[in-house]
Amino acid sequence: MPIVLPYDIWCLIATFIPKSALSKLYGVNSAFFNILMNEAYREVNIYHVGDERTRRCLMNMSPTIAKRVQTLTLRPHLLPPVDSRKPATFFTEKLRNYIRQAGKPMKPSTNSVPQTLLRHITHMTEVASLTIGCYPSDDVQLFSKATSFVHTAFSTHGSRLLSLTLAIPLEAYSNVLHSTAVFGSLEELEITLRVAYATTDYQKILPLIATFVNQHSGTLKSLSVDTPEAMVDPFQLFSNLHNLPRLRKLCICHPLDRLRPNCPTGIESFLIQHAELLKDFRIRFVGPFKDDPLPSPDDFFLHPILQAQLPNLATLDLGLCQWPKVHKKSVGDNIARYLRPLRKSLSRLAVRDYVLTFPEVESLVTVFSCRESRLRSLEMHMYFLSCDLLDLLYKHLPDLYHLELRFDSLLSQDDGTWIANYYWNGYDVTSAFVRDMADRHYADWALRHFTVQPLYYCSGRWNECRTLLAAALPSVLTFNGLSGDQFSYIPDFTRPDI
Protein backbone atom coordinates (compact mmCIF):
# COMPACT_ATOMS: atom_id res chain seq x y z
CA MET A 1 0.00 0.00 0.00
CA PRO A 2 1.53 3.35 -0.98
CA ILE A 3 2.46 5.77 1.78
CA VAL A 4 -0.06 8.61 2.01
CA LEU A 5 1.49 11.76 3.42
CA PRO A 6 0.38 15.39 3.34
CA TYR A 7 1.82 17.49 0.54
CA ASP A 8 3.73 19.67 3.02
CA ILE A 9 5.55 16.60 4.36
CA TRP A 10 6.62 15.59 0.85
CA CYS A 11 7.92 19.15 0.34
CA LEU A 12 9.97 18.79 3.52
CA ILE A 13 11.34 15.41 2.38
CA ALA A 14 12.30 16.95 -0.96
CA THR A 15 14.54 19.51 0.77
CA PHE A 16 16.84 16.67 1.91
CA ILE A 17 17.20 15.20 -1.59
CA PRO A 18 19.87 16.61 -3.96
CA LYS A 19 18.35 18.35 -6.98
CA SER A 20 20.20 16.01 -9.34
CA ALA A 21 18.47 13.03 -7.71
CA LEU A 22 15.14 14.77 -7.22
CA SER A 23 14.86 15.48 -10.94
CA LYS A 24 14.63 11.72 -11.56
CA LEU A 25 11.81 11.17 -9.06
CA TYR A 26 9.01 13.05 -10.80
CA GLY A 27 7.18 9.77 -11.44
CA VAL A 28 7.14 8.64 -7.80
CA ASN A 29 3.96 10.49 -6.90
CA SER A 30 2.00 13.63 -7.66
CA ALA A 31 3.71 15.53 -4.83
CA PHE A 32 7.18 15.10 -6.32
CA PHE A 33 5.80 15.88 -9.76
CA ASN A 34 4.33 19.16 -8.54
CA ILE A 35 7.50 20.07 -6.65
CA LEU A 36 9.64 19.54 -9.74
CA MET A 37 7.23 21.37 -12.02
CA ASN A 38 7.12 24.32 -9.64
CA GLU A 39 10.90 24.42 -9.57
CA ALA A 40 11.23 24.09 -13.35
CA TYR A 41 8.87 26.96 -14.13
CA ARG A 42 9.40 29.15 -11.08
CA GLU A 43 11.41 31.62 -13.19
CA VAL A 44 10.73 32.59 -16.82
CA ASN A 45 12.85 34.83 -19.05
CA ILE A 46 11.55 36.44 -22.23
CA TYR A 47 14.34 37.85 -24.37
CA HIS A 48 14.26 36.80 -28.04
CA VAL A 49 13.53 33.55 -29.85
CA GLY A 50 17.22 32.87 -30.32
CA ASP A 51 17.44 32.59 -26.54
CA GLU A 52 17.06 29.09 -25.11
CA ARG A 53 14.89 30.16 -22.16
CA THR A 54 12.56 32.17 -24.38
CA ARG A 55 12.12 29.22 -26.75
CA ARG A 56 11.36 27.01 -23.78
CA CYS A 57 8.62 29.40 -22.69
CA LEU A 58 7.28 29.66 -26.24
CA MET A 59 6.97 25.92 -26.77
CA ASN A 60 6.20 24.47 -23.34
CA MET A 61 4.01 27.10 -21.71
CA SER A 62 0.33 26.45 -21.16
CA PRO A 63 -2.30 28.13 -18.96
CA THR A 64 -1.74 25.48 -16.29
CA ILE A 65 2.05 25.75 -16.36
CA ALA A 66 1.88 29.55 -16.47
CA LYS A 67 0.31 29.59 -13.02
CA ARG A 68 3.54 28.13 -11.60
CA VAL A 69 5.60 31.15 -12.68
CA GLN A 70 6.58 33.38 -9.76
CA THR A 71 9.48 35.38 -11.23
CA LEU A 72 9.34 36.95 -14.69
CA THR A 73 12.17 38.73 -16.49
CA LEU A 74 11.26 40.75 -19.58
CA ARG A 75 14.02 41.89 -21.93
CA PRO A 76 12.06 41.96 -25.20
CA HIS A 77 14.27 44.23 -27.28
CA LEU A 78 14.76 41.79 -30.17
CA LEU A 79 11.14 40.77 -30.61
CA PRO A 80 9.22 42.13 -33.61
CA PRO A 81 6.60 44.79 -32.83
CA VAL A 82 3.26 43.29 -31.88
CA ASP A 83 1.31 45.67 -34.08
CA SER A 84 3.45 45.06 -37.15
CA ARG A 85 1.47 43.82 -40.14
CA LYS A 86 4.50 42.24 -41.74
CA PRO A 87 5.04 38.57 -40.97
CA ALA A 88 8.03 37.96 -38.73
CA THR A 89 9.62 35.54 -41.18
CA PHE A 90 13.11 35.70 -39.65
CA PHE A 91 11.88 34.74 -36.20
CA THR A 92 9.39 32.09 -37.28
CA GLU A 93 11.97 30.46 -39.52
CA LYS A 94 14.49 30.30 -36.69
CA LEU A 95 11.84 28.82 -34.44
CA ARG A 96 10.80 26.29 -37.11
CA ASN A 97 14.40 25.18 -37.57
CA TYR A 98 14.90 24.81 -33.84
CA ILE A 99 11.80 22.64 -33.42
CA ARG A 100 12.73 20.56 -36.46
CA GLN A 101 16.19 19.91 -34.99
CA ALA A 102 14.65 18.96 -31.67
CA GLY A 103 12.51 16.39 -33.45
CA LYS A 104 9.22 18.01 -32.46
CA PRO A 105 6.41 18.57 -34.96
CA MET A 106 5.62 22.18 -35.76
CA LYS A 107 2.06 23.01 -34.81
CA PRO A 108 0.36 25.25 -37.35
CA SER A 109 -0.62 28.58 -35.88
CA THR A 110 -1.71 31.91 -37.22
CA ASN A 111 -0.38 33.74 -34.17
CA SER A 112 2.93 35.54 -34.37
CA VAL A 113 5.68 34.88 -31.85
CA PRO A 114 5.02 38.13 -29.90
CA GLN A 115 1.29 37.46 -29.70
CA THR A 116 1.93 33.96 -28.38
CA LEU A 117 4.32 35.26 -25.73
CA LEU A 118 1.89 38.01 -24.76
CA ARG A 119 -0.85 35.43 -24.29
CA HIS A 120 1.48 33.38 -22.07
CA ILE A 121 2.18 36.47 -19.95
CA THR A 122 -1.54 37.04 -19.35
CA HIS A 123 -1.81 33.48 -17.98
CA MET A 124 1.05 33.99 -15.47
CA THR A 125 -1.30 35.06 -12.72
CA GLU A 126 0.98 34.19 -9.76
CA VAL A 127 3.98 36.37 -10.67
CA ALA A 128 5.25 38.24 -7.59
CA SER A 129 8.64 39.41 -8.89
CA LEU A 130 9.06 41.25 -12.21
CA THR A 131 12.26 42.51 -13.85
CA ILE A 132 12.19 44.83 -16.86
CA GLY A 133 15.61 44.83 -18.53
CA CYS A 134 17.23 46.94 -21.24
CA TYR A 135 20.95 46.73 -20.61
CA PRO A 136 23.89 48.70 -22.09
CA SER A 137 24.35 46.06 -24.79
CA ASP A 138 20.69 46.37 -25.84
CA ASP A 139 19.11 48.74 -28.36
CA VAL A 140 16.83 51.27 -26.65
CA GLN A 141 14.82 51.88 -29.83
CA LEU A 142 14.03 48.19 -30.28
CA PHE A 143 13.15 47.90 -26.61
CA SER A 144 10.75 50.85 -26.91
CA LYS A 145 8.92 49.10 -29.75
CA ALA A 146 8.28 46.11 -27.50
CA THR A 147 6.92 47.92 -24.44
CA SER A 148 3.54 46.26 -25.02
CA PHE A 149 5.11 43.29 -23.20
CA VAL A 150 5.80 45.55 -20.22
CA HIS A 151 2.30 47.04 -20.21
CA THR A 152 0.73 43.59 -20.48
CA ALA A 153 2.81 42.39 -17.53
CA PHE A 154 1.86 45.47 -15.51
CA SER A 155 -1.86 45.03 -16.14
CA THR A 156 -1.72 41.27 -15.46
CA HIS A 157 0.49 41.20 -12.37
CA GLY A 158 -0.10 44.64 -10.89
CA SER A 159 -2.41 43.64 -8.05
CA ARG A 160 -0.10 40.96 -6.60
CA LEU A 161 3.35 42.21 -7.59
CA LEU A 162 5.70 42.39 -4.59
CA SER A 163 9.04 43.13 -6.27
CA LEU A 164 9.80 45.26 -9.35
CA THR A 165 13.20 45.85 -10.95
CA LEU A 166 13.55 48.53 -13.63
CA ALA A 167 16.99 47.90 -15.16
CA ILE A 168 16.43 50.27 -18.07
CA PRO A 169 18.01 53.51 -19.31
CA LEU A 170 16.37 56.80 -18.43
CA GLU A 171 15.26 57.25 -22.05
CA ALA A 172 12.92 54.25 -21.65
CA TYR A 173 11.15 55.28 -18.45
CA SER A 174 8.58 57.53 -20.13
CA ASN A 175 7.41 54.58 -22.28
CA VAL A 176 7.37 52.13 -19.39
CA LEU A 177 5.85 54.23 -16.60
CA HIS A 178 2.43 55.76 -17.04
CA SER A 179 -0.28 57.11 -14.79
CA THR A 180 -2.00 53.74 -14.40
CA ALA A 181 1.18 51.92 -13.36
CA VAL A 182 0.33 51.62 -9.66
CA PHE A 183 0.86 48.35 -7.79
CA GLY A 184 -1.11 48.02 -4.59
CA SER A 185 1.16 45.43 -2.94
CA LEU A 186 4.61 46.54 -4.14
CA GLU A 187 7.24 46.12 -1.38
CA GLU A 188 10.58 46.11 -3.23
CA LEU A 189 11.62 48.51 -5.99
CA GLU A 190 14.97 48.61 -7.81
CA ILE A 191 15.69 51.37 -10.32
CA THR A 192 18.67 52.17 -12.52
CA LEU A 193 19.73 55.73 -13.38
CA ARG A 194 21.80 55.68 -16.55
CA VAL A 195 21.53 57.28 -19.98
CA ALA A 196 21.94 55.57 -23.33
CA TYR A 197 22.84 58.84 -25.06
CA ALA A 198 24.99 61.63 -23.70
CA THR A 199 22.61 64.26 -25.13
CA THR A 200 19.59 63.07 -23.15
CA ASP A 201 17.99 65.70 -20.89
CA TYR A 202 17.45 63.29 -18.03
CA GLN A 203 16.54 66.02 -15.51
CA LYS A 204 12.99 65.96 -16.89
CA ILE A 205 12.74 62.21 -16.39
CA LEU A 206 13.85 61.97 -12.75
CA PRO A 207 10.72 63.71 -11.36
CA LEU A 208 8.61 61.15 -13.28
CA ILE A 209 10.45 58.34 -11.47
CA ALA A 210 10.07 60.14 -8.14
CA THR A 211 6.32 60.40 -8.73
CA PHE A 212 6.17 56.65 -9.39
CA VAL A 213 8.04 55.93 -6.15
CA ASN A 214 5.82 58.31 -4.18
CA GLN A 215 2.70 56.57 -5.49
CA HIS A 216 3.87 53.45 -3.65
CA SER A 217 4.94 55.16 -0.44
CA GLY A 218 2.33 53.27 1.55
CA THR A 219 3.71 49.81 0.68
CA LEU A 220 7.44 50.14 -0.16
CA LYS A 221 9.76 48.41 2.31
CA SER A 222 12.89 48.28 0.15
CA LEU A 223 14.30 50.82 -2.33
CA SER A 224 17.41 50.35 -4.47
CA VAL A 225 18.86 53.14 -6.63
CA ASP A 226 21.77 52.23 -8.91
CA THR A 227 23.62 55.14 -10.57
CA PRO A 228 26.40 53.31 -12.45
CA GLU A 229 27.72 56.37 -14.31
CA ALA A 230 28.90 59.80 -13.22
CA MET A 231 26.98 61.23 -16.19
CA VAL A 232 23.77 61.16 -14.13
CA ASP A 233 23.20 63.36 -11.08
CA PRO A 234 20.54 61.70 -8.86
CA PHE A 235 19.79 64.87 -6.88
CA GLN A 236 16.51 65.57 -8.70
CA LEU A 237 15.25 62.10 -7.83
CA PHE A 238 16.05 62.09 -4.12
CA SER A 239 14.99 65.71 -3.59
CA ASN A 240 11.53 64.89 -5.01
CA LEU A 241 10.94 61.76 -2.94
CA HIS A 242 8.36 61.95 -0.17
CA ASN A 243 8.46 60.18 3.16
CA LEU A 244 8.24 56.38 2.81
CA PRO A 245 6.81 55.34 6.20
CA ARG A 246 7.33 51.59 5.72
CA LEU A 247 10.86 51.78 4.30
CA ARG A 248 13.27 49.41 6.06
CA LYS A 249 15.96 48.75 3.45
CA LEU A 250 17.90 51.20 1.26
CA CYS A 251 20.51 50.19 -1.34
CA ILE A 252 22.60 52.85 -3.08
CA CYS A 253 25.21 52.60 -5.83
CA HIS A 254 26.77 56.03 -6.34
CA PRO A 255 29.57 57.32 -8.62
CA LEU A 256 32.68 58.50 -6.79
CA ASP A 257 33.01 61.43 -9.19
CA ARG A 258 29.87 62.89 -7.61
CA LEU A 259 31.03 62.34 -4.04
CA ARG A 260 32.33 65.88 -3.58
CA PRO A 261 31.68 68.29 -0.69
CA ASN A 262 30.22 70.89 -3.06
CA CYS A 263 28.09 68.34 -4.96
CA PRO A 264 24.83 67.59 -3.05
CA THR A 265 23.36 64.21 -3.88
CA GLY A 266 20.00 64.38 -2.10
CA ILE A 267 20.84 60.99 -0.58
CA GLU A 268 21.96 62.56 2.70
CA SER A 269 18.61 64.34 3.17
CA PHE A 270 16.71 61.16 2.30
CA LEU A 271 18.78 59.21 4.85
CA ILE A 272 18.12 61.75 7.59
CA GLN A 273 14.40 61.71 6.79
CA HIS A 274 14.26 57.91 7.17
CA ALA A 275 16.99 57.45 9.80
CA GLU A 276 14.67 56.03 12.46
CA LEU A 277 13.06 53.59 10.03
CA LEU A 278 16.06 51.99 8.31
CA LYS A 279 17.15 48.52 9.41
CA ASP A 280 19.26 47.65 6.36
CA PHE A 281 21.60 50.06 4.52
CA ARG A 282 23.82 48.99 1.61
CA ILE A 283 26.00 51.46 -0.23
CA ARG A 284 28.63 50.99 -2.94
CA PHE A 285 30.71 53.53 -4.83
CA VAL A 286 31.73 53.09 -8.48
CA GLY A 287 34.46 54.81 -10.46
CA PRO A 288 36.17 57.17 -10.57
CA PHE A 289 35.38 57.66 -14.25
CA LYS A 290 37.79 60.56 -14.73
CA ASP A 291 41.45 61.11 -13.90
CA ASP A 292 40.51 62.83 -10.65
CA PRO A 293 42.24 61.36 -7.58
CA LEU A 294 40.26 59.41 -5.02
CA PRO A 295 38.95 61.46 -2.11
CA SER A 296 41.13 60.96 0.95
CA PRO A 297 39.71 58.67 3.67
CA ASP A 298 39.06 61.73 5.85
CA ASP A 299 37.13 63.53 3.09
CA PHE A 300 35.30 60.33 2.16
CA PHE A 301 33.97 59.69 5.66
CA LEU A 302 33.18 63.38 6.19
CA HIS A 303 30.72 63.37 3.29
CA PRO A 304 27.14 64.01 4.51
CA ILE A 305 26.02 60.57 3.27
CA LEU A 306 28.34 58.91 5.80
CA GLN A 307 27.55 61.45 8.51
CA ALA A 308 23.88 60.49 8.75
CA GLN A 309 23.09 58.77 12.06
CA LEU A 310 21.09 55.53 11.67
CA PRO A 311 20.28 54.46 15.24
CA ASN A 312 18.25 51.33 14.46
CA LEU A 313 20.43 49.87 11.70
CA ALA A 314 20.83 46.07 11.91
CA THR A 315 22.55 45.36 8.56
CA LEU A 316 25.30 47.45 6.98
CA ASP A 317 26.92 46.61 3.64
CA LEU A 318 29.63 49.25 3.30
CA GLY A 319 31.54 49.77 0.06
CA LEU A 320 34.81 51.72 0.30
CA CYS A 321 37.65 52.69 -2.08
CA GLN A 322 40.97 50.92 -2.53
CA TRP A 323 43.15 53.70 -1.16
CA PRO A 324 46.94 53.51 -1.52
CA LYS A 325 49.04 52.23 1.38
CA VAL A 326 49.95 55.75 2.49
CA HIS A 327 46.42 56.13 3.91
CA LYS A 328 46.28 52.83 5.82
CA LYS A 329 46.20 54.22 9.37
CA SER A 330 43.67 56.87 8.44
CA VAL A 331 41.37 54.26 6.88
CA GLY A 332 41.29 52.12 10.02
CA ASP A 333 40.59 55.11 12.27
CA ASN A 334 37.78 56.34 10.04
CA ILE A 335 36.12 52.92 9.76
CA ALA A 336 36.15 52.57 13.54
CA ARG A 337 34.78 56.08 14.00
CA TYR A 338 31.96 55.44 11.53
CA LEU A 339 30.99 52.10 13.10
CA ARG A 340 31.14 53.13 16.76
CA PRO A 341 27.60 54.64 16.90
CA LEU A 342 26.28 51.38 15.39
CA ARG A 343 27.98 48.94 17.75
CA LYS A 344 24.81 48.23 19.78
CA SER A 345 22.42 47.77 16.85
CA LEU A 346 24.36 46.05 14.03
CA SER A 347 23.93 42.30 13.65
CA ARG A 348 25.45 41.99 10.16
CA LEU A 349 28.42 43.89 8.72
CA ALA A 350 30.08 43.57 5.31
CA VAL A 351 33.04 45.72 4.24
CA ARG A 352 33.59 45.61 0.47
CA ASP A 353 35.83 47.00 -2.27
CA TYR A 354 38.75 47.49 0.11
CA VAL A 355 41.44 45.05 1.27
CA LEU A 356 41.93 45.33 5.01
CA THR A 357 45.20 45.01 6.90
CA PHE A 358 45.41 43.32 10.28
CA PRO A 359 45.56 46.61 12.27
CA GLU A 360 42.47 47.86 10.42
CA VAL A 361 40.57 44.69 11.33
CA GLU A 362 41.80 45.12 14.87
CA SER A 363 40.30 48.63 14.98
CA LEU A 364 37.04 47.37 13.48
CA VAL A 365 36.69 44.38 15.80
CA THR A 366 37.50 46.40 18.91
CA VAL A 367 34.42 48.54 18.24
CA PHE A 368 32.20 45.47 18.69
CA SER A 369 34.15 44.00 21.59
CA CYS A 370 31.55 45.00 24.16
CA ARG A 371 28.80 43.29 26.08
CA GLU A 372 26.08 45.18 24.21
CA SER A 373 27.30 44.07 20.78
CA ARG A 374 24.80 42.17 18.61
CA LEU A 375 27.17 41.46 15.72
CA ARG A 376 26.59 37.93 14.42
CA SER A 377 27.73 38.11 10.80
CA LEU A 378 30.94 39.61 9.36
CA GLU A 379 32.24 39.73 5.76
CA MET A 380 35.53 41.29 4.66
CA HIS A 381 38.54 41.00 2.36
CA MET A 382 41.97 40.62 3.99
CA TYR A 383 45.47 40.65 2.61
CA PHE A 384 46.25 37.59 4.73
CA LEU A 385 44.41 34.84 6.51
CA SER A 386 46.52 34.37 9.62
CA CYS A 387 46.46 32.54 12.92
CA ASP A 388 46.58 35.95 14.59
CA LEU A 389 43.42 36.99 12.73
CA LEU A 390 41.44 33.95 13.89
CA ASP A 391 42.71 34.47 17.45
CA LEU A 392 41.57 38.09 17.31
CA LEU A 393 38.08 37.26 16.05
CA TYR A 394 37.69 34.40 18.53
CA LYS A 395 38.66 36.63 21.44
CA HIS A 396 36.69 39.78 20.60
CA LEU A 397 33.68 38.32 18.75
CA PRO A 398 32.82 35.15 20.68
CA ASP A 399 29.15 35.29 19.58
CA LEU A 400 29.90 35.56 15.86
CA TYR A 401 27.70 33.09 13.96
CA HIS A 402 28.67 33.67 10.31
CA LEU A 403 32.08 34.69 8.95
CA GLU A 404 33.11 35.26 5.34
CA LEU A 405 36.77 35.98 4.60
CA ARG A 406 38.38 36.60 1.24
CA PHE A 407 42.15 36.73 1.37
CA ASP A 408 45.18 36.93 -0.89
CA SER A 409 47.50 34.55 0.95
CA LEU A 410 48.44 32.94 4.26
CA LEU A 411 50.47 34.05 7.26
CA SER A 412 50.95 32.77 10.77
CA GLN A 413 51.74 36.04 12.55
CA ASP A 414 50.44 39.31 11.14
CA ASP A 415 51.25 42.75 12.48
CA GLY A 416 50.11 44.59 9.36
CA THR A 417 53.58 45.16 7.97
CA TRP A 418 53.62 44.74 4.22
CA ILE A 419 56.24 42.14 3.31
CA ALA A 420 57.66 43.33 -0.01
CA ASN A 421 59.17 39.97 -0.97
CA TYR A 422 56.37 37.87 0.49
CA TYR A 423 55.36 36.18 -2.73
CA TRP A 424 58.93 35.14 -3.39
CA ASN A 425 59.17 33.41 -0.03
CA GLY A 426 55.53 32.45 0.28
CA TYR A 427 56.17 28.76 0.86
CA ASP A 428 58.07 29.34 4.09
CA VAL A 429 55.41 31.70 5.45
CA THR A 430 52.60 29.31 4.49
CA SER A 431 54.48 26.51 6.23
CA ALA A 432 54.43 28.59 9.39
CA PHE A 433 50.65 28.94 9.07
CA VAL A 434 50.29 25.16 8.71
CA ARG A 435 52.57 24.58 11.71
CA ASP A 436 50.85 27.06 14.02
CA MET A 437 47.27 26.32 12.96
CA ALA A 438 47.77 22.72 14.08
CA ASP A 439 47.92 24.02 17.67
CA ARG A 440 44.75 26.12 17.42
CA HIS A 441 41.38 24.94 18.74
CA TYR A 442 38.25 27.10 18.85
CA ALA A 443 35.74 24.57 20.17
CA ASP A 444 33.62 26.98 22.22
CA TRP A 445 33.29 29.64 19.51
CA ALA A 446 29.69 30.36 18.48
CA LEU A 447 30.74 30.33 14.80
CA ARG A 448 28.59 27.96 12.73
CA HIS A 449 29.07 29.04 9.10
CA PHE A 450 32.50 29.91 7.72
CA THR A 451 33.13 30.94 4.10
CA VAL A 452 36.81 31.27 3.26
CA GLN A 453 38.06 32.12 -0.24
CA PRO A 454 41.75 32.33 -1.17
CA LEU A 455 42.10 34.67 -4.12
CA TYR A 456 45.75 34.35 -5.01
CA TYR A 457 48.47 32.16 -3.52
CA CYS A 458 48.70 29.40 -0.93
CA SER A 459 51.97 27.76 -2.03
CA GLY A 460 50.13 24.62 -3.09
CA ARG A 461 49.22 23.80 0.53
CA TRP A 462 45.59 24.84 0.65
CA ASN A 463 44.54 21.18 1.00
CA GLU A 464 46.42 20.94 4.31
CA CYS A 465 45.13 24.31 5.44
CA ARG A 466 41.50 23.36 4.84
CA THR A 467 41.90 20.18 6.89
CA LEU A 468 43.51 22.13 9.73
CA LEU A 469 40.79 24.78 9.67
CA ALA A 470 38.07 22.12 9.85
CA ALA A 471 39.85 20.47 12.78
CA ALA A 472 40.38 23.78 14.61
CA LEU A 473 36.71 24.75 14.25
CA PRO A 474 34.75 21.62 15.26
CA SER A 475 31.58 23.58 16.03
CA VAL A 476 31.30 25.01 12.52
CA LEU A 477 28.47 23.35 10.59
CA THR A 478 29.39 24.51 7.08
CA PHE A 479 32.61 25.56 5.41
CA ASN A 480 31.80 27.27 2.10
CA GLY A 481 28.39 25.62 2.32
CA LEU A 482 29.91 22.14 2.77
CA SER A 483 30.43 19.87 5.74
CA GLY A 484 33.90 19.76 7.29
CA ASP A 485 34.70 16.44 5.58
CA GLN A 486 33.54 17.67 2.16
CA PHE A 487 35.44 20.93 2.60
CA SER A 488 38.67 19.03 3.26
CA TYR A 489 38.52 17.08 0.00
CA ILE A 490 37.60 19.65 -2.66
CA PRO A 491 40.35 20.34 -5.27
CA ASP A 492 43.04 22.91 -4.44
CA PHE A 493 42.59 25.50 -7.21
CA THR A 494 45.41 27.64 -5.77
CA ARG A 495 48.10 25.16 -6.81
CA PRO A 496 50.10 26.41 -9.81
CA ASP A 497 50.09 22.95 -11.44
CA ILE A 498 46.27 22.75 -11.62
The answer to whether position 91 is within a domain reads no
243, burial (CB in 10 Å: exposed 0-12, middle 13-18, buried 19+): exposed
Which range marks the domain in which residue 29 is found? 1-40
Least confident of 18-22, 108-112, 117-121: 108-112
Amino acid, res. 296: S
Average pLDDT over residues 348-371: 94
Contact of 130 with 156, CB cutoff 8 Å: no
Q: How confident is the model at residue 391 (pLDDT cuts 50, 70, 90)?
A: very high
- 265-312 per-position pLDDT tens digit: 999 999 999 999 999 999 999 987 667 788 899 999 999 999 999 999
The answer to whether position 199 is within a domain reads yes
Q: What does the DSSP assignment read for 146-203?
A: THHHHHHHHHHHTTT--EEEEE--HHHHHHH--TT---TT--EEEEE---SSTT--GG
The answer to whether position 95 is within a domain reads no
The answer to whether position 16 is within a domain reads yes
Q: Based on the fold, state whether residues 75 and 4 are members of the same structural domain.
A: no
Q: Based on the fold, state whether residues 226 and 294 are members of the same structural domain.
A: yes
The answer to whether position 5 is within a domain reads yes
Q: How far apart (Å, rounded) are the C-alpha atoms in residues 173 and 166?
A: 9
The answer to whether position 51 is within a domain reads no
- 235-259 per-position pLDDT tens digit: 999 999 999 999 999 999 999 988 8
pLDDT for the residue 2: 54
Q: Based on the fold, state whether residues 341 and 382 are members of the same structural domain.
A: yes
Identify the CA nearest to 256 among candidates 228, 295, 296, 288.
Answer: 288
Q: Based on the fold, state whether residues 144 and 28 are members of the same structural domain.
A: no
The answer to whether position 349 is within a domain reads yes
Q: Based on the fold, state whether residues 267 and 151 are members of the same structural domain.
A: yes
Contact of 271 with 240, CB cutoff 8 Å: no
Q: Based on the fold, state whether residues 18 and 75 are members of the same structural domain.
A: no
CA 192 to chain centre: 14
Q: Based on the fold, state whether residues 484 and 423 are members of the same structural domain.
A: yes
pTM: predicted TM-score of the whole model, two decimal places:
0.84
The answer to whether position 45 is within a domain reads no
- Report how many domains make up the chain: 2
CATH number at residue 450: 3.80.10
